[in-house]
């Protein structure tokens, strides 16, 4: 297995940065960036999207270009719900006499049904 992927950003090869300039004099190009894969490192996560994109911008452009296909992978036709206890309202007063409220929300569990 190679130790890099090409960035999947559809416009990666169009950005004018020095590290993208490749080729010999007279036939230079801007080339898609390589994304190094640190597969020998303990922290390497094969499911991290940064393995496939050189930047957030390239990821966003990919996601925007392919959002219809992406959501068809796991369509959300109904909302998920997380059971909670009845929220409690708590009154706080600062040393300056300002009053504010917080709402305590405690989970009963998380719906993991997909």
Q: Which residues sit at the interface with Zn ion, rule CB under 5 A?
A: 7, 9, 12, 33, 54, 58
Nearer to Zn ion, 22 or 85 (CB): 22
Query: 20 with 13: CB under 8 angstroms?
Result: yes
Shortest Å, Cβ 8 to Zn ion: 8
In the complex, least distance from residue 62 CB atom to Zn ion, rounded to whole angstroms: 9
Which residues, in sequence order, are bridge partners of residue 93? 99
Q: Please provide residue 83's backbone torsions phi and psi, each rounded to the nearest 5 degrees.
A: -65, 135
Supply the minimum distance, in Å, between the C-beta of residue 89 and Zn ion: 48
Q: How long, in residues, is the chain?
A: 114
Q: Rounded to whole angstroms, how far apart are CA atoms 67 and 77?
A: 16
Which C-beta is closer to Zn ion: that of 39 or that of 56?
56
């Amino acid at each position: 297995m190679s130790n890099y992927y090409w960035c999947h950003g559809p416009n990666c090869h169009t950005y004018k940065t020095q590290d993208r300039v490749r080729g010999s004099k007279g036939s230079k190009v801007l080339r898609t960036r390589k994304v190094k894969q640190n597969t020998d490192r303990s922290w390497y996560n094969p499911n991290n999207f940064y393995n496939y994109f050189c930047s957030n911008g390239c990821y966003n452009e990919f996601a925007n270009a392919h959002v219809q296909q992406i959501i068809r992978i796991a369509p959300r036709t109904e909302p998920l719900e997380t059971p909670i206890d009845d929220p409690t309202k708590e009154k706080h007063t600062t040393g300056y006499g300002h009053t504010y409220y917080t709402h305590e929300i405690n989970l009963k569990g998380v719906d993991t049904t997909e």
